């Protein structure tokens, strides 16, 4: 094991700007200085030894002049000093001076002050020399009976480490600690003693646990946690013991400590798959989520619930707890609510859907009463989407949901209203029995709709699905009400002319007396300041949209009027009524055209909208059967095709999900008998405690590591040339927010290299955590240096630097070898993700950084090129496969990904195959990347360019 991999107990900050002191001045301070100067000198000595200096001449000085001092700071520093100072001669024998040190620590172990005793015991855990520890054993044993718990608990730790490293020094340690544990009252001492027995003598630990298994609930939480770990390990190694301890785990689910409850629930799930056990663990998790205030804890525990759901046998148990899971919605955090709703939706079944819908309806109504907040709007959207999914999966629920949701069409938040509209559109198409109810409700809320986009969608639904004479008349009435007095242009001009006289009468008075809100005088006339506000107050919604210059809604209105007029003609036999209705519809269109051409709106009507309205007028004037079919049948068929394609895609994704979750066992798979498997073969049952410890240390063992091609060698970067005096190469290990550089440094010269230091600097959002410490390299020797780098955002980072060293005996300055740059791959942080089309469009409009990459490849197939881009950028294609299938010479697709830092990346691929250049022509086009930050957009562009070049070779 290299020095860099040794366990580090103490971190010491070294100020690099100060000049290293000489050995003589340090010796002088340590001999003759006061306590303060001795403390400072000792600190300097520690730093110099850490930097590779030997300083053998100071050892006796410190023993004579510093060791006898009773100052607590000096005693603490001495513990660090004795930990790092070389204690042996070059041939491995213990230095004679250490006998004096050993005697000093024997006295400290009998010191009346408990802090000195305890800290000395902690220091002894770090000693690796058996000769030093042997004379201290009686004193360490005596500390087990000290009155203070701090001394006793450190004595247990010292005995445990000595027993683990040098068993011959204290062979009876397990028996000694077992007796100590039986009589001990302090929780921390009991925890340490029990922990030692688990690792040193598990049978004794089990014997102790058997004697007090009924009192486990009364123990402190730190001891309970260790008991949970022991039970897990015992049952993991010997499944026959489960019945003996499972009751104890059940009891610990009622512990007052959240940490114990969490661990006990996790252990219970691994020990038993009985429905009662799963239910108890899930109930415990739900209670933890509700009671814990920290959102991170809530999210972690929610993830455990989601993991439980992934097991097919456990899913049915969790379905009964859906109502309990929904209690988590009381949390204000949006991320927690999002995960909770998704989990509830995954667990919903015909048995509990009614209750789920009632709770969600209450939540929707609650959001209406809460003061407006960004998260309230987003939460409302989430609820609407969840209700939408429930209604699609369980059509019987739609009738209960629709009346509540349709109130939100008049909501100020356009996104939530758009979700409701999408749901209503799907429901009215799928559920024939609900059409009357939806049309009736739509007519009720129609006049209150505030957003032009929602208004347009509502118009389309009313025009498409009003089938009775009464409904058609109601739509016409609502449109007239929303449009106001017609002809619009004349009524607006009259209004202006009519308002002029009274305004003038007002302004005849003293104009200069007008005072603004700020308290300053204004010379503005009352006419110009009050007229627009008065007009806007009593302006009907549709009229308002048109006067603001939004004529796209007029084109939508013209189509709706045409549809209902054609349907009215088919329903009503009387010619007079037919002509009257059609004429009214044509009048409305004509007056809108007139308004568009006048100067009254803020923006004039576009040519496209003029064409659409004119076409509708022509259709109504001719009333041909072909046009009737196109307007009244084919529009609905298009919607039907779109919804069926969407449903098919959802079913396909659900099928893929269920296939993933199904545990498929092949007929010829070998049967695994637990009793016959060797301990190292029990790979199906990983030790959860070991896995979580490895994950925390960033040493997660990935499955692909077994493949030699996917091993570390693929990530090794050569930093210097083979002919350089110092050869260096680095393995770059990325672990989420940390990058560990494991640098191998080889001395290729015949000289000893002193103070060999790896100096690193970073470019981009990378931060070096600590400076690697200097090394001394013997001729042709090698060493490993580790450096940690923190990553703050998704951006291409570069690490560069050099290796500097001194050659022993040389009078010249320091030598330097410049290293090659290490480029950090952005792909380690980007993961594929999904979002809706509406969210994609919204983000596309919001993100200000765009990077346009020109396609430059020798690939000739459009689909192959798209797949290559997806693979090289880790992005997910949002465009459905059906839309990309077939061949037409061009392709457009939307891609989306999210980084582990929560940054979004969007891309639009627009590519074509130039037919005129023949069948072997390469793909051409552009890829536009958008992101919130410049670094993300540029880094993704660089990645695409690089991957294109690789394919072009």
Instruction: Give the DSSP per-residue string, 307-344.
Output: HHHHSHHHHHHHHTTHHHHGGGGGS--HHHHHHHHHHH
Please report whether residue 238 resides in a domain: no
Q: Is the omega angle on the peptide bond into residue 359 within 30 degrees of 0, that is, cis?
A: no
Low-confidence winner among 260-269, 608-617, 688-697 (lowest mean pLDDT): 688-697
In a shared domain, residues 473 and 391 = no
Mean of all residue pLDDT scores within the chain: 79
782, 748 Cβ separation under 8 angstroms: no
User: Integer distance in angstroms from the first to the last C-alpha of the chain?
Assistant: 43
Separation of CA 234 from chain center: 35
* pLDDT value of position 697: 54
pLDDT band at 372 (very low <50, low <70, confident <90, very high): low
Please report whether residue 91 resides in a domain: no
Please report whether residue 160 resides in a domain: no
List pLDDT tens digits, range 788-813: 888 877 677 788 889 998 886 666 66
* pLDDT value of position 810: 61
Distance CA 673, CA 675 (A): 5
In a shared domain, residues 765 and 863 = no
DSSP 8-state secondary structure symbol assigned to residue 94: B
Residue after which a domain boundary falls, among 450, 482, 512 = 450
Residue 943 dihedral angles phi and psi, to the nearest 5°: -65, -45
DSSP 8-state secondary structure symbol assigned to residue 676: G
pLDDT at 406 over 60: yes
Low-confidence winner among 112-126, 268-282, 519-533 (lowest mean pLDDT): 519-533
701, 691 Cβ separation under 8 angstroms: no
Q: What total of structural domains would you count in the chain?
A: 4
**Which residue's entry shows tokens 């019945």?**
243
Q: Which of 322, 296, 315 lies closest to 390, judged by CA?
A: 322
350 against 896, higher pLDDT = 896
DSSP state string for 357-417? HHHHHHHHHHHHHSPP-HHHHHHHHHHHHHHHHHHHH-GGGHHHHHHHHHGGGG-S-HHHH
Q: Which of 248, 244, 241, 189 lies closest to 215, judged by CA?
A: 248
Instruction: Tell whether pTM > 0.75.
Output: no
Summarize the confidence of residues 659-676 as an average pLDDT: 60
In a shared domain, residues 839 and 815 = no
* pLDDT value of position 676: 60
Q: What is the CATH number of the domain that holds 729?
A: 2.60.40.1480
* pLDDT value of position 930: 92
In a shared domain, residues 807 and 944 = no
Strands of 766-768's sheet in order across: 716-718, 726-735, 738-747, 782-791, 766-768
**Which residue's entry shows tokens 């400590």?**
257
Please report whether residue 636 resides in a domain: no
List pLDDT tens digits, range 727-751: 999 988 877 677 888 899 999 988 8
Summarize the confidence of residues 634-651 as an average pLDDT: 72
List pLDDT tens digits, range 258-289: 888 888 888 888 887 788 888 888 889 888 88
In a shared domain, residues 470 and 619 = yes
Please report whether residue 43 resides in a domain: no
Q: What is the CATH number of the domain that holds 862?
A: 3.30.310.10
In a shared domain, residues 567 and 586 = yes
Count of CB atoms situated within 10 Å of the CB of 207: 12
In a shared domain, residues 848 and 800 = no
In a shared domain, residues 435 and 563 = no
* pLDDT value of position 502: 38
In a shared domain, residues 610 and 747 = no
Please report whether residue 200 resides in a domain: no
The pair of structure tokens assigned to 873 is 């950028």
Residue after which a domain boundary falls, among 608, 623, 638 = 623
Which residues neighbour 562 within 8 Å (Cβ) at sequence distance 6 or greater?
Answer: 585, 616, 619, 620, 631
The pair of structure tokens assigned to 334 is 């949006």
Please report whether residue 922 resides in a domain: yes
In a shared domain, residues 818 and 878 = no
**In percent, how much of the chain has pLDDT > 90?**
5
* pLDDT value of position 852: 92
Q: For 254-262, which contacts have Cβ atoms below 8 Å and span 24 or more sequence positions?
A: 254/217, 255/217, 255/221, 255/224, 256/221, 257/221, 257/224, 257/225, 258/288, 258/291, 258/292, 258/297, 259/221, 259/225, 260/221, 260/224, 260/225, 260/228, 261/287, 261/288, 262/288, 262/301
pLDDT at 151 over 60: yes
Please report whether residue 477 resides in a domain: yes
Residue after which a domain boundary falls, among 602, 623, 644 = 623
3-state helix, strand, coil in the chain (%, to 5): 60, 10, 25
List pLDDT tens digits, range 16-40: 556 667 888 888 888 888 888 888 8
List pLDDT tens digits, range 542-564: 888 888 888 888 888 888 888 88
In a shared domain, residues 491 and 572 = yes
Which residues neighbour 208 within 8 Å (Cβ) at sequence distance 6 or greater?
Answer: 178, 181, 182, 194, 197
Structural domain range at position 754: 715-824
Q: What is the 3-state secondary structure (H, E, C) of 765-793?
A: CEEECCCCCCEEECCCCEEEEEEEEEECC
Summarize the confidence of residues 412-418 as an average pLDDT: 74
DSSP 8-state secondary structure symbol assigned to residue 893: E
**In percent, how much of the chain has pLDDT > 70?**
84
The pair of structure tokens assigned to 747 is 């001395």
In a shared domain, residues 797 and 873 = no
Distance CA 421, CA 311 (A): 36
* pLDDT value of position 656: 67
């Amino acid at each position: 094991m290299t020095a860099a991999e040794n366990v580090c107990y103490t971190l010491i900050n070294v100020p690099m700007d100060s000049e290293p002191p000489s050995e003589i001045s340090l010796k002088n301070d340590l001999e003759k200085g006061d306590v303060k100067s001795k403390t400072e000198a000792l600190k300097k000595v520690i730093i110099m030894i850490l930097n590779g200096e030997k300083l053998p001449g100071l050892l006796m000085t410190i023993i004579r002049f510093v060791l006898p001092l009773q100052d607590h700071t000096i005693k603490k520093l001495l513990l660090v000093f004795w930990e790092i100072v070389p204690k042996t001669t070059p041939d491995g024998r213990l230095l004679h001076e250490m006998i004096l040190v050993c005697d000093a620590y024997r006295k400290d172990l009998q010191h009346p002050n408990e802090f000195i005793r305890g800290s000395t015991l902690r220091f002894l855990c770090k000693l690796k020399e058996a000769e030093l520890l042997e004379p201290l054993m009686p004193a360490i044993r005596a500390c087990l009976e000290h009155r203070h718990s701090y001394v006793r608990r450190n004595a247990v730790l010292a005995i445990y480490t000595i027993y683990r490293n040098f068993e011959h020094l204290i062979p009876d340690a397990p028996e000694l600690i077992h007796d100590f544990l039986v009589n001990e009252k302090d929780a921390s001492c009991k925890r340490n003693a029990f922990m030692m027995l688990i690792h040193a003598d598990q049978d004794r630990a089990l014997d102790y646990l058997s004697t007090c298994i009924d009192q486990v609930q009364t123990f402190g939480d730190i001891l309970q946690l260790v008991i949970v770990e022991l039970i897990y390990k015992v049952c993991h190694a010997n499944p026959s013991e489960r019945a003996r301890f499972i009751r104890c785990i059940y009891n610990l689910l009622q512990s007052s400590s959240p940490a114990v409850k969490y661990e006990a629930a996790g252990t219970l799930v691994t020990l038993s798959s009985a429905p009662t056990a799963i239910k108890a663990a899930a109930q415990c998790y739900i209670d933890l989520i509700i009671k814990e205030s920290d959102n991170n804890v809530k999210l972690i525990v929610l993830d455990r619930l989601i993991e439980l759901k992934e097991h097919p046998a456990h899913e049915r148990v969790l379905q009964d707890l859906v109502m309990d899971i929904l209690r988590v919605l009381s949390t204000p955090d949006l991320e927690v609510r999002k995960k909770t709703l998704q989990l509830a939706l995954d667990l919903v079944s015909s048995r509990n859907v009614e209750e789920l819908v009632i709770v969600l309806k209450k939540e929707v109504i609650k959001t209406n009463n809460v003061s407006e907040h960004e998260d309230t709007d987003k939460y409302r959207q989430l609820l609407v989407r969840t209700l939408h999914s429930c209604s699609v999966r369980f059509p019987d629920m739609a009738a209960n949901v629709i009346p509540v949701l349709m109130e939100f069409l008049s909501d100020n938040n356009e996104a939530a209203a758009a979700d409701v509209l999408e749901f209503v559109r799907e429901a009215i198409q799928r559920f024939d029995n609900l059409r009357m109810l939806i049309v009736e409700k739509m007519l009720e809320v129609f006049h209150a709709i505030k957003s032009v986009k929602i208004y347009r969608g509502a118009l389309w639904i009313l025009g498409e699905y009003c089938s009775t004479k009464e409904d058609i008349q109601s739509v016409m009435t609502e449109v007239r009400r929303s449009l106001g007095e017609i002809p619009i242009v004349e009524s607006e001009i009259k209004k202006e002319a009519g308002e002029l006289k009274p305004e003038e009468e007002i302004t005849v008075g003293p104009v200069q007396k007008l005072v603004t809100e700020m308290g300053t005088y204004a010379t503005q006339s009352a006419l110009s300041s009050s007229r627009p506000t008065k007009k806007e107050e009593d302006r009907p919604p549709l009229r308002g949209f048109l006067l603001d210059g939004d004529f796209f809604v007029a084109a939508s209105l013209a189509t709706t009027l045409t549809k209902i007029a054609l349907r009215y003609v088919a329903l009503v036999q009387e010619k007079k009524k037919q002509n009257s209705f059609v004429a009214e519809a044509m009048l409305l269109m004509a007056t809108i055209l007139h308004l568009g051409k006048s100067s009254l709106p803020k923006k004039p009507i576009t040519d496209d909208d003029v064409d659409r309205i004119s076409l509708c007028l022509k259709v109504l004037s001719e009333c041909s059967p072909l046009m009737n079919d196109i307007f009244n049948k084919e529009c609905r068929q298009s919607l039907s095709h779109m919804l069926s394609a969407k449903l098919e895609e959802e079913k396909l994704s659900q099928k893929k999900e269920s296939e993933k979750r199904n545990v498929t066992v092949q007929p010829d798979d070998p049967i695994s008998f637990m009793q016959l498997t060797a301990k190292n073969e029990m790979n199906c049952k990983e030790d959860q405690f070991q896995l979580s410890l490895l994950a925390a240390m960033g040493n997660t063992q990935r499955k692909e590591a077994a493949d030699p091609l996917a091993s570390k060698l693929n990530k090794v970067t050569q930093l210097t040339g083979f002919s350089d005096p110092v050869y260096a190469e680095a393995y770059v290990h990325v672990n989420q927010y940390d990058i560990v550089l494991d640098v191998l440094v080889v001395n290729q010269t015949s000289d000893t290299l002193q103070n060999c230091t790896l100096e690193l600097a970073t470019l981009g959002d990378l931060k070096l955590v600590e400076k690697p410490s200097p090394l001394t390299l013997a001729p042709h020797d090698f060493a490993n240096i580790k450096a940690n780098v923190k990553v703050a955002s998704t951006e291409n980072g570069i690490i560069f630097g050099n290796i500097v060293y001194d050659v022993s005996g040389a009078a010249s300055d320091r030598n330097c070898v410049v290293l090659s740059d290490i480029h950090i791959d952005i792909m380690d942080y980007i993961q594929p993700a999904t979002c809706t089309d509406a969210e994609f469009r919204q983000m596309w409009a919001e993100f200000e950084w765009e990077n346009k990459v020109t396609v430059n490849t020798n690939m000739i197939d459009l689909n192959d090129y798209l797949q290559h881009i997806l693979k090289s950028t880790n992005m997910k294609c949002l465009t459905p496969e059906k839309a990309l299938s077939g061949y037409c010479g061009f392709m457009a697709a939307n891609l989306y990904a999210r980084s582990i830092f929560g940054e979004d990346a969007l891309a639009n691929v627009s590519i074509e195959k130039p037919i005129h250049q023949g069948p072997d022509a390469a793909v051409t086009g552009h890829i536009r990347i958008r992101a919130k930050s410049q670094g993300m957009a540029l880094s993704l562009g660089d990645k695409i360019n690089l991957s294109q070049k690789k394919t072009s070779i």
